[in-house]
Chain A
Amino acid sequence: MTKNYDIAIIGGGIMGCATALHLAQAGMSVILLEKDDIGQGASGVNAGTLSLQIKRVKLMPYALKGHHEWQKMGDKVGFVKTGGYTLAFNEREAKLLEERMNLKREAGANIEFVSPQILHKNEPNITKKIVAVSYCADDGYANSSLTGQYYRNLLNHSSVDYFEQSQIIKIDQSDKGFNVHTANPQYKAKRLLLAGGGWMKQAAALLDIDLPIQARVNTVSVTERSPKLISNVIGHATGLLTMKQKANGSILIGGGWQGTGTPNDGRGKVHSQTVIPNIQLGQYALPALSALRIIRSWTGFEANVPDFYPLAGALGNVPNAYILGCVRGGFTIGPYISKLMGDFILGNELELPLFDPNRQFTQTGK
């Protein structure tokens, strides 16, 4: 007789892993199934920026809590609280910066506007062509490459049964629960959590649910190791640049520039026409980058719905099925929102509300 788990979780990214651990700790029997490797989806290839300045206003409380989680995870994930500067290079961007950062500050982020002089005192290598700057002392980064290692170790020491190279290709529902099929074995569980990241649309389709999910193809590039050039996380008023120098000296350049490809065909592709301006923007902010070389650019899939808010809650038309994904800034928020999700599944009181996946989606303005 196959074991009937309390819950089966589909997807071993940060959302799936962190929820699995939380539920197992509360005593549930959990099985987690991952089609590739633990933490090799978005959670393992993202830019690792833990910045309140690029978080959405409405998600700020979650990001603040997320920061605490990362702080606790500490060295094992390469967490560093560096502080972060967001730069505006012209009047238009300065106005945008002011508008945006004021709203984010009101939402609870410890953001202040500083003078270019202060910026240059702390970051002498940043371009002098600065019109406005904001600063947040709480910003920092973690090393996303370590996500897989970190969660695999925790899973190994938990009661969670996890299987890698196990893609869910079919799900049967009955009164008793779910039968989830991989190419070979099937598993039984009373509940189901979809945490399929960029592949969420396909995962939901296994339950005949059609969600208006799109996958973005975010690009990140990294330089070789370099002597120290910057100490803080550097951003851009539009949110389209993130840059940090990691402890090993390499500089990571991201910002959500779009590559090509879809989750249905491989891992996505770096697109010359976007990666080049992405790096140019980075070099504009940090002219000394010109002395370095890019050693690798890559992409990852990040899912979103039209309103760019998370899907986090119970799926209306399938009893005992839940979904967690499409979280903008999901690396930052992931460890926290996964705990909330776990609490929701356990029937505990929630510290902050979740995001009903059955809502009407409206397109955000921008």
Chain B
Amino acid sequence: MRFFRQTGSKIKRSQLVEFSFNGTTYSGHLGESVTVALAANGIITTRITHDGSPRGAFCFMGSCQECVLLIDGLRIEACQVALSEGLIVQSIGCLIAEQKAKGDENV
């Protein structure tokens, strides 16, 4: 499942730019929110809670914190960040997995 950018005849969008999410390259429209860029690419799970359940963007106004990702190294609500060329986006869970892979059991 994914979000759909609607394409009515009168709707004109900005150019496509590339960004990465957890190491994979995707494209999205310059200036759209990172949440929308991800969801339009089929990535609607933004985080996995400590008890293992998946979550996605919920409020789209920067307040529920469900869409917080590491964007260029900083934790920020992805729904509040405008997409630009070359953004490096990572999920926090991915970071924890990396640490576990390195053998750290305490994460």
Contact = CB atoms under 8 A, between A and B. Distances in A.
A228 B74 contact: no
Interface residues of A, number: 10
A231 B106 contact: yes
A224 interface: yes
Contact of A228 (B68, B70, B92, B104): B104
B99 A292 contact: no
A129 to B, nearest CB: 22
B73 interface: yes
B61 to A, nearest CB: 17
B74 A291 contact: yes
**A contact patch SS:** loop
A291 B68 CA distance: 12
Contacts of B92: 227
A227 B50 contact: no
**B contact patch SS:** mixed
Interface string B60-76: 00000000101001110
A355 B15 CA distance: 74
A293 B50 contact: no
Interface string A210-242: 000000000000001101100100000000000
B75 A293 contact: yes
B50 A225 contact: yes
Nearest to A245: B106
B75 A228 contact: no
A224 to B, nearest CB: 7
A228 B50 contact: no
Contacts of A292: 75
Contact of A227 (B68, B73, B74, B107): B107
A228 B73 contact: no
A231 B68 CA distance: 25
B75 A291 contact: yes
A261 to B, nearest CB: 27
Most buried by B among A227, A231, A249, A291: A227
Interface in B59-107: 68, 70, 73-75, 92, 95-96, 99, 104, 106-107
B104 A291 contact: no
Interface in B36-54: 50
Contacts of A364: none
Contacts of A224: 68, 75
Contacts of A293: 75
B99 A227 contact: yes
Contacts of A249: 50, 107
Given A227-B96, A291-B75, A248 B106 contact: no
A83 B106 CA distance: 15
A293 B92 CA distance: 13
Interface of B: 50, 68, 70, 73-75, 92, 95-96, 99, 104, 106-107
Interface of A: 224-225, 227-228, 231, 248-249, 291-293
